[in-house]
Amino acid sequence: MQKQKIAVIGAGPVGSVLAVHLTNAGHEVYLVDVISGLIDVIRENGLQIVGAEENYARIENTCTSIDQLEGVEPHQIYICIKAIDLPGVSLQLENLKLDNTLYISFQNGIDNEEVLAKHFPRARVFRGVINYAGMTVRPGTVKMTFFHPPNFIGSLDPKSRDIAKAIARQHSQAGIETQYSEIIKRDAWRKSILNSVLMPVSVTTRLSMGKIMQDPGLKTLVGTLLKDFLEVARQENYHYEADFYEKAIGYLSNAGDHKPSMLMDFESGRPLEIDFLNNRLQAYADKHGLPCKANKLLCSLVKGMLFHRDVVTSSS
């Protein structure tokens, strides 16, 4: 794929890693984030990636609002913000009235791409599944905690398969190993299930991933959630390998002693992505008459904790 004009919405860990690689591959990258202090530091000092990977790039084009992309006409726009902010960001992007731009959901969650498809033609909407993670150490510096390649890219419209394959090659050439997926929704569900079996447990217990999997009772709870969610996936005709459960438990048991993003968001007072993860899975479970009692209970507990954090504490 020729050098592209690319906008990355969100300068968190996912967007930062992507922006650094695409910039170093020679693409013209525009990085957008509403946190002006963060953008000021990146504009001045560039973006540094540390941890599992050491990388750096100067980002010449930085913006503090989507409106500042007016007149830029990017070939591709990557949405790397939290899924909870996706509806509002999609509307802002729609207001730019771009006729040929490709929109790629580069986020965690289920059905994110369908939110984008309400605003843009399906032939120009794509879904990425990200298999790296990180945390912002300080403004302008992101620690990549792991990357389990490959990432995946897929299209909503079969007519756009070749474009999706070209995007996958573009990422791989930029140093982020990526494969085209013919069934991208299945891959998005796989990643979302792995997120959903740990994240609400971490919020309710305040424990890291490693400590959750070291506790026999909590590990059993994670296993119950995993079995329930795999049954929901089967009802949606998303089928995984026969030993997926065993592999998933092994993978989660080696996840490391760090906090999942949902727990970090909870502790920082930020909104949670639970509506695009556990609550979305519960909606599909309800559709098929599957109780998923453990997930329903956890969702209620997290809702109560959010109420106490945001309402009770602020009013006291």
CATH number of the domain that residue 100 is part of: 3.40.50.720
Residue 89's pLDDT is 98
Are 199 and 247 found together in one domain?
A: yes
Q: Which amino acid, 143?
A: K
Residue 312's pLDDT is 74
Q: Which amino acid, 190?
A: R
Nearest to 244 by CA among 290, 187, 177: 187
Are 131 and 47 found together in one domain?
A: yes
> What average pLDDT values come out for the chain (316 residues) when binned by 10 residues?
92 97 98 96 97 96 97 97 96 97 97 97 98 93 94 98 98 98 97 97 96 97 98 97 96 86 94 96 98 98 96 72
CATH number of the domain that residue 222 is part of: 1.10.1040.10
H/E stretch holding 61: strand 61-63
Output the pTM of the full model. 0.94
Are 198 and 301 found together in one domain?
A: yes
Are 57 and 206 found together in one domain?
A: no
Domain span at 230: 188-315
Are 176 and 195 found together in one domain?
A: no
Buried b (16+ CB within 10 A) or exposed e, 51-74: bebebebebebbbbebeebeebeb
> What's the rounded Cα separation, in Å, for the pair 198 and 73?
39
Are 105 and 195 found together in one domain?
A: no
Domain tally for the chain? 2
Angle between the N-to-C axes of helices 216-235 and 293-307, in degrees from 0 to 180, rounded to the nearest 10: 110
Residue 255's pLDDT is 79
Counting Cβ atoms within 10 Å, is residue 129 exposed (0-12), middle (13-18) or buried (19+)? buried
Question: Which residue reads 């005709």 in tokens?
Answer: 237
Residue 311's pLDDT is 86
3-state secondary structure of 295: helix
Q: Which amino acid, 138?
A: R
Are 161 and 58 found together in one domain?
A: yes
